[in-house]
Structure 1
Amino acid sequence: MPISIDGNLFSLSTQDTLYQMQVDEYGILNHLWYGPKTGMSMSYLNQYPEISFSGSLADTGTRRDYSLNDRPLEYAEGGMTDYRTPALRIVHPDGSSALDLRYAGYEVLNHKPGIAHLPASFDRSLQTPTLKITLKDALYPIFVHLYYNAFEKENVIARSVEIENNTDHILSLDKFSSLCLDLPDGDLEVLHFHGRHAMERLKERLPLGFGTFRFESRRGNSSHQHNPAVILAAPHTDESHGACYGACLLYSGCYQVEVQKDQLEQIRLVMGLEESTFHWKLKPQATFHSPEALLSYSNQGFEKLSHQFHDMFREHVIRSTFVHRPRPVLINNWEATYFDFNGQKLIEIADSAKECGIDLFVLDDGWFGNRNSDTESLGDWHVNEEKLGMPLADLSKAIHDRQMQFGLWIEPEMVSEDSDLFRTHPEWVLWIPGRYPSRSRHQLVLDLGNPEVVEYLYQTFSKLIRENSVDYIKWDMNRSISDFYSSYLPEQRQGELAHRYMLGVYELADRLTTEFPEVLFEGCAGGGGRFDGGMLYYFPQYWCSDNTDAHCRTQIQYGTSFFYPISSVGSHVSAVPNHQTGRVTSLKTRGTVAMAGTFGYELDLTLLSPEQREEVRQQVQTYKTLQPLIFDGDYYRLSDPFDHDLAAWSFVSKDGLQILVQSVIYEQKPNVRFPRIQLRGLKRDVWYKQLDTGNVYTGAALMDGGLLLDLPQGTDSSQTLQFVRMDQEETSE
């Protein structure tokens, strides 16, 4: 059983890991262990001598070897004798902020409930039980409910927290975290994924020193700058060896991650809502539930940790029916035309795409209102028939008549000042009274914390999808939030805006994806600015980055792969010279890189030569054959593209029968040996055949000896190699 309770000892077990907590003699819930299975209680490790200047709880009497400041706590409330970073902070009406949380009981639910208004992991079989542990403040009837789910096969623990105010006064909830994890080993390093627009999720690995390492987003979205996920690893951990812990927040708004190393070299990880943009007024008899966080542990390096998260997302987070279905190869007109197009030009691009075997035509920005630049008409979601030269429904029909699907770009959350929507409803915009609004990309932000705005957007886009037979929606968000003020909320509740905004986004996404389950939704936020577990709950794929340069994309996709499955990565072939970097790479290399994702094109196919269009046709055909392996196989990072001039990765099917190896070499150097890569995830004593050459290798040879790649020709060189596992009869022949 994944949940075991023995007196005051609580254990959660997955296939390979054990998570353990225990209530001590003072009713404090201690964290005991998270790591490999041990087959016993780990409480014997929870012993401490007297530590000077560590205060004691009042009911410990004269005892001097017990302090909350030293003990590993399951959920640290702060304000009593723990001086470390708290997971929770409440301000009472008298101005005090202390909580003294003691164990009040537990409950085991026979299924995993959802979290109202928030994305959360699920079990379609309804067989994953939930452990609910309740803590109560020693003075006030304030309850904190800790929720745990052990996903056995994926080796993932899902955690969330609910606070219940049964007092007769309003509480100010000023910090609320989804998880707190205390670890006894301070010799750890932190891996986080930072970046900027067009260069997201770049891996940085740092040793943990004393004090607090913190990163966050105050931008109203999870941001290009930091991703809400973190890894703690032993110093020598690599892809296939060593211990590491991963934590990922299923939330798309303002968040924070804190990793603290204390005086005893213990580590505390706290992850949850960003405290400077969160101040929630919790009314009497009301509850508040945190976003959910996912935890996973591996003692076999980063790749196993990634496989566990990939499987978790595919099976228990991405709820779309598309998660295991074939997905269309698309052509997007943005980099082909930008705002300069008409219906006939779009149909010409679609005709060329059809000849190449492409399945889906996507009309990007500029089809509505008076939208001929990014300074106007955002929010005016009525079709510009004069520009198209036809109704949108006619364009959709023309695409469908070519046996292709029709997709549309929208940006629901934003509005131009030069728009009918803004002129009609200025009160729907986030705008601080008495101040000029800040602008980004000439846009203002609609107040999705206002239910009236959410309802308007739902009615607008559901009608648009229905009336135009839309098969695909690209939902974009092209600016961060800075003016945190809502005319909808009263003065004393303005601190709730950042979270209420995300609740509105989630409600709109939930209603649209529920009403249109056969429409493929792809998220986007200036590229990968909101690529996180919260959005993947609603959208099975997300535009990975606005940077489509093949060289940069290998680095961006490398960092993305540590937590998020390849099937969620929007990746396309674009024109050269690349519109972001000016770099010229071959069509072959651009195709190789884009195949490590959902695959599509962002260029004007009508400008390609017949030979290039034939190459595109071959790429599309190859990708469609390989898509099941790319989407559902185990992904291996075979090189670090930041440390070498080589990016290499592979996919191994779950049954071990198929292997796909892809690589890109960036720089040609004279008088060098053939580059060599070593595969992983194969059976050592099994033979594998390389399909293009017919050569056969043992798994041991491919993993220990490796493969020799071609020398690069020019500025880039890419290869795609396929192997199949041979049975014993074929080998003997």
Structure 2
Amino acid sequence: MSIQVRDQVFSLTTNDSLYQMKVDQYGILNHTWYGPKTEMDMSYIEDYPEISFSANLWDTEKSRMYSLNDRLLEYPCGGISDFREPALLLRVPDGSSSLDLRYYSYEILEGKYSIEKLPASFDRDHKTQTLKITLKDTVYDIFVDLLYGIFEEENVITRSVTIRNMTPFEIQVKKAVSASLDLPESDYEVIHFHGRHAMERLAERTSLSHGTFSIGSRRGQSSHQHNPGIILAKNNTNETSGEAYGMLLVYSGGFEADIEKDQLDQIRATIGLRSENFRWQLKPCEHFCAPEAILSYSEKGLGVLSNQYHDFIRSHLIRSSFVHQKRPILINNWEATYFDFNGEKLLSIAKSAHELGIELFVLDDGWFGERHNDDSSLGDWFVNEKKLQMPLRQLVEKIHALGMQFGLWIEPEMVSENSKLYRDHPNWVLRSPLRDPARSRYQLVLDMANPEVVDYLEQVFTKLIEENEIDYIKWDMNRSISDFYAPSLSPKTQSEMAHRYMLGVYDLADRLTSRFENILFEGCAGGGGRFDAGMLYYFPQYWCSDDTDAHNRCFIQHGTSFFYPISATGSHVSAIPNHQTGRNTSLYTRGIVAMAGTFGYELDLSELSPKEKEEVKEQIKVYKSMQELVLEGDYYRLSDPNQQNVSAWSFVSKDKKKIIVQAVVFEHKPNMKKPHVFLQGLDENRWYRRKEDGHLFTGKALMKAGLFLPDQLGTDEACMIELEQIDSKNREAQ
């Protein structure tokens, strides 16, 4: 059993970890352990000295030895003697914010819990159990349900929280994190993923000092600037050894993740909704559900932790039927034409693409309304047949006649001031009644908290998709939210707007992806501005970044891989000089980097030389041969591009029989040794043959002594090495 309860000790076990809580003599739920399995009650390691100026619970009478301020707690609240970061803050009508949550009850439920109106993990095989622990305030009938989903084989524990107001009056939820994790030691570093537009999810590892380390987003989306996931790694942890904890939020809006090092050098990590300006009105008999957080632990390094997340997201979070399917190799017209195209130009690109083996043509921005640049027509989702010089359906039919699929770009959440939709419904945008809204990219944000808006968008896109036999949708979002005021909400509930906006987005995504199960949806938000676990629930792949420069992509895809599977990462070959950086990189290198993802092209194929076209054909052939390994295999980071002159990674089949190593050497320097990487995830007792020259290695040699990469002159030179396991008889025959 993955859940055991004995003497008010709750033990949650996965294959390689134990998560444990214990109710103490005062009814407080303590967190006692998260780490390797020990088969025992771990509360014996508690050591809480008497600390001056640490308030004591009233129940303790004259004892000064018990304070919530230094105990490891499972779900801490503010206001009654714990002075650290709280997980939950409420306000009742008398104005007080104190909560005193004590253990009330528990249930073990077969199957995985779900969360109303929010994306959450699931269990197709019905092997998962749910533990529900209910806490209750000592004064008010306020109940807090702590939910735990235990995925034993995946080494994952999911968490969520439900706050139930059973009082006769309205209360206010001011903060409700999805998961709080208290650890007794502080010899950890935090790995987080920062960035900006076109340089997202750059991995940064930093030591923790006393006080609070905090990341988050105020932008109404998870953002380019910070991704909603953190890793706590022991100081000596690397890719192949050492302890690490991951916390990943299944949410796409504003969030916060805090890590506090307290006066006893203990750690508290929390992750959840952004609490700044958040107030949720909870009427009698109503409840509020926090988003889900995915926790995982590894004592075998960061590589194992990442693969636990990859497998879990593929098997238990991405609900699309495409998750285990090979994806079509696509051509997107954006960097080839931008807004300057007609139907014949698009057909010429499609014909050239088809001749090279490309399977999906995607029509990007500019096909609707009077959209000739980016300052008009968002919201007017009717086809500009004058610009196309033909009906969209006719273009689709001609693309289909080539044997290709057809895809379309949309941006549902946005509206241009210069649009029929805005002129007809000026009250459908987020804006203060007394202030002019902030502009960004000449567009405003629709009020997705308004059910009328969601209903309208569902009707518009359903009609568009059904009338034109669309095979693929790219769903974009090209600005952050700056005006947090929804005309559809009352002044009292404006503090709910940011979360209600995301609930509206999820509602629309749920309706469209459920109705059109056979359409491949890809998410996008100015590139990777909303690349998170919440969106992956609906979209099996996400455009990694608007920066298609192969050199920069090495850093972006490196950081992305810590949590997110490569099979969900949109990555394409684009034109040179690169449109974002001006860099010239070989077609071979661009292809190698783009193969670490859902492969495609964004360039004018007619401008390629005959030699380059042959190279594209070969790239497509190679990618198709390795696509199953990319989609289903284990992924390992073999270098840190932030510290080394090489970015290297590998794909290893689950049976450890097939391996592909890919790498980009940034700069050749005179008199340098060959680049050298150590492989991971192999069977150390088996032999492997390098496909290129037949050279044999043991798995142990490849992992302990490593493998040299080709030494090539130039900058950003890529290579690819294939290895396959052989049996001992074949080796003896040689």
**TM-score (normalizing by structure 1):** 0.99
- Judge conservation of contact 1:349–1:606 (CA < 8 Å) in 2: yes
- Number of the residue aligned with 2:553: 553
Distance 2:667 2:111 in 1: 53
- Report the Cα distance in structure 1 between the residues aligned to 2:597 and 2:413, rounded to whole angstroms: 26
Match of 2:502 in 1: 502
Residue 288 (structure 1) aligned with residue 288 (structure 2)? yes
Alpha-carbon distance between aligned partners in 2 of 1:612 and 1:387, rounded to the nearest angstrom: 31
Letter of the 2:176 partner, please give it. F
Q: Give, in angstroms, the shift of residue 715 of structure 1.
A: 2.3
Q: Which amino acid aligns with 2:688?
A: Y
For residues 520 and 196 of structure 1, the distance between their equivalents in structure 2, rounded to whole angstroms, comes to 27
What is the CA-CA distance between 1:88 and the residue it aligns to? 0.6
Task: Find the counterpart in structure 1 of residue 136 from structure 2.
Answer: 136
> 2:256 and 2:708 mapped to 1: Cα distance?
44
Q: Secondary structure at the match of 1:68?
A: coil
Aligned to 1:325: 325
| Counterpart residue identity of residue 313, structure 2 | F
Which letter maps to 1:206?
T
Gaps of 5+ in 1: none
Tell me which amino acid in the other structure corresponds to 2:624: K
Say if 2:488 is the partner of 1:488: yes
Amino acid at match of 2:572: H
Amino acid across the alignment from 1:696:
L
How big is each residue's C-alpha offset from its partner over 1:81-105, in whole Å with a ceiling of 9 and x where there is no partner?
1010100101111110000001110
Residue 473 of structure 2 aligns to which amino acid in structure 1? I
Partner of 1:536: 536
Q: Secondary structure at the match of 1:506?
A: helix
Any idea what SS the aligned residue of 2:125 has? coil
Give a deviation string over 1:498-546, Cα, whole Å, max 9, x none: 0000000000000100001110000000000000000000000000000
Please tell me the residue identity of whatever aligns with 2:651. F
**Does the 8 Å CA contact 2:190/2:206 hold for their aligned counterparts?**
yes
1:565 pairs with 2:578: no
- Counterpart code for 1:184: P
Native 8 Å contact 2:571 2:598 kept in 1: yes
In structure 2, the gaps of 5 or more residues are none
**Given residue 426 of structure 2, which amino acid in structure 1 is its aligned partner?**
P
1:668 Cα shift? 2.1
Tell me the distance in 2 between the aligned counterparts of 1:113 and 1:85: 27
Query: Equivalents in 2 of 1:416, 1:356: separation in Å?
Result: 37
Cα distance in 2 between the residues matched to 1:4 and 1:463: 51
Moved more, 593-602 or 710-719: 710-719
Cα contact 1:88–1:177 (8 A) shared by 2:
yes
Distance of 2:105 and 2:237 partners within structure 1: 39
Q: Determine the C-alpha separation between the residues in 1 that align with 2:714 and 2:615.
A: 19
Q: After superposition, what is the alpha-carbon deviation per residue over 1:102-151, rounded to whole angstroms, capped at 9, x for unaligned? A: 11100111111311100001000222110000000000000000000111
Amino acid at match of 1:30: N
Counterpart residue type for residue 709 of structure 1: L
The separation in 2 between residues aligned to 1:218 and 1:230, in whole angstroms, is 17
Query: Residue 385 of structure 1 contacts residue 392 of structure 1 at CA under 8 Å; is this kept in 2?
Result: yes
C-alpha distance in 2 between matches for 1:728 and 1:687? 7
Following the alignment from structure 2 to structure 1, what is the Cα–Cα distance between the partners of residues 48 and 710? Answer: 59
Taking the aligned partners of 1:710 and 1:32, their CA distance within structure 2 comes to 50
Shift of 1:716: 2.5
Q: Following TM superposition, by how much is the alpha carbon of 1:691 offset from its aligned partner in structure 2, in angstroms?
A: 1.2
Report the alpha carbon displacement of residue 326 of structure 1 after superposing the two structures with TM.
0.8
- 8 Å contact from structure 1 (residues 711, 717) kept in 2: no
Name the counterpart of 1:686: 686
Q: 8 Å contact 1:249–1:293 — kept in the other structure?
A: yes
Counterpart of 1:670?
Answer: 670
- State whether residues 542 and 568 of structure 2, in contact with CA within 8 Å, keep that contact through their aligned partners in structure 1: yes
Aligned to 2:428: 428
User: Does the alignment pair 1:219 with 2:226?
Assistant: no
Q: Secondary structure of 1:15's match?
A: coil
Cα distance in 1 for residues equivalent to 2:496 and 2:675: 55
- Residue 185 of structure 1: aligned partner: 185
Runs of 4+ in 1 over 6 A off after TM superposition: none
SS in 1 for 2:321: coil
* Aligned twin of 1:12: 12
The residue aligned with 1:380 is: 380
**8 Å contact kept, 2:200–2:225:** yes
Contact persistence 2:113–2:147 (CA under 8 A):
no
Provide the rounded CA distance (Å) in 1 between the counterparts of 2:714 and 2:230: 38
Do the aligned partners of 1:350 and 1:399 also contact (CA within 8 Å) in 2?
yes
Instruction: Note the 1:170-319 alignment, pairs <5 A.
Output: 170-319=170-319
Q: Compute the displacement of 1:713 (Å).
A: 2.8
Q: Distance in 2 between matches of 1:644 and 1:50?
A: 48
Whole-angstrom CA distance in 2 between matches of 1:579 and 1:612: 19
Deviations 1:128-178 (A, max 9, x none): 110000000000000000000111111111000000001111111111100
Partner of 2:520: 520
Deviation of 1:622 after TM superposition, in Å, equals 0.8
What is the alpha-carbon distance in structure 2 between the residues aligned to residue 423 and residue 654 of structure 1? 55
Q: Deviations over 1:1-49 (max 9, x none)?
A: 1111112010100000000001111110000000000011101112422
Inter-partner Cα distance in structure 1 for 2:467 and 2:509: 19
Q: Could you say which residue in structure 2 is the equivalent of 1:696? A: 696
Alignment partners' CA distance in 1, 2:678 and 2:187: 29
Q: Distance in 1 between matches of 2:632 and 2:666?
A: 28
Deviation, 1:327, is 0.6
Contact 2:648 2:663 in 1 (8 A): yes
- Does residue 398 of the first structure (1) align with residue 389 of the second (2)? no
CA deviation string 1:181-220 (max 9, x = no partner): 1100112111110000000001111111101001110100
Residues 374-415 of structure 1, C-alpha deviations (whole Å, 9 max, x = no match) = 000111000000000110001110110011000000000000
Distance 2:703 2:191 in 1: 26
Give the deviation of 1:418 after TM superposition. 0.3
**Within 5 A, what are the aligned runs for 1:139-178?**
139-178=139-178
Secondary structure, counterpart of 2:172 in structure 1: strand
Q: Give the distance between the partners of 1:259 and 1:669, measured in 2 at CA.
A: 41
Distance apart, 1:359 and its partner CA: 0.6
- Equivalent residue, structure 2, for 1:116: 116
Q: Hey, what's the Cα distance between the residues in 2 that align with 1:672 and 1:487?
A: 63
AA at the equivalent of 1:134: T
Decide which moves more: 459-468 or 668-677.
668-677
Contact 1:254 1:277 in 2 (8 A): no
CA offsets per residue over residues 587-633 of structure 1, 9 Å max, x none? 00000000000010000101111111111011011101101101111
> What's the CA shift for 1:277?
3.6
Aligned to 2:77: 77
Please state whether the residue corresponding to 1:4 is helix, strand or coil: strand
Q: Map of 1:404-419 to 2, 5 A cutoff?
A: 404-419=404-419
Equivalent-residue separation in structure 1 for 2:682 and 2:727 (angstroms): 14
Q: Separation in 2 of the partners of 1:244 and 1:204?
A: 15
Tell me how far apart the structure 2 counterparts of residues 677 and 274 of structure 1 sit (CA, whole Å).
40
**Quick check: 105-114 or 248-257, which moved more?**
105-114
Matches of 2:685 and 2:93, distance apart in 1: 69
**Which amino acid is 1:374 matched to?**
D
Q: Is the 8 A contact 1:477 1:525 kept in 2?
A: yes
Percent identical among aligned pairs is 62
- Cα drift, residue 642 of structure 1: 1.1
Contact conserved, 2:113 with 2:149, CA < 8 A, in 1?
A: no
Amino acid at match of 1:556: I
SS at match of 1:275: coil
The size of the alignment, in residue pairs, is 733
C-alpha distance in structure 2 between counterparts of 1:611 and 1:462, whole Å: 43
- SS at structure 2 position matched to 1:612: helix
- Which residue type is aligned with residue 265 of structure 1? D
Shift of 1:301: 0.9
SS in 1 for 2:324: coil
What's the CA shift for 1:60? 1.1
C-alpha contact 1:218 1:277 (8 A) present in aligned 2:
no
**Residue 318 to residue 165, structure 1, CA distance change in 2 (3 Å):** same
Alpha-carbon distance between aligned partners in 1 of 2:34 and 2:375, rounded to the nearest angstrom: 52
Distance in 1, matches of 2:243 and 2:183, equals 13
CA displacement 1:655-676 (0-9 Å, x = unmatched): 0110000011121212222222
Task: Please report the TM-score for the alignment, with normalisation by the length of structure 2.
Answer: 0.99
SS in 2 for 1:118: coil
In 2, Cα distance between the equivalents of 1:702 and 1:17? 29
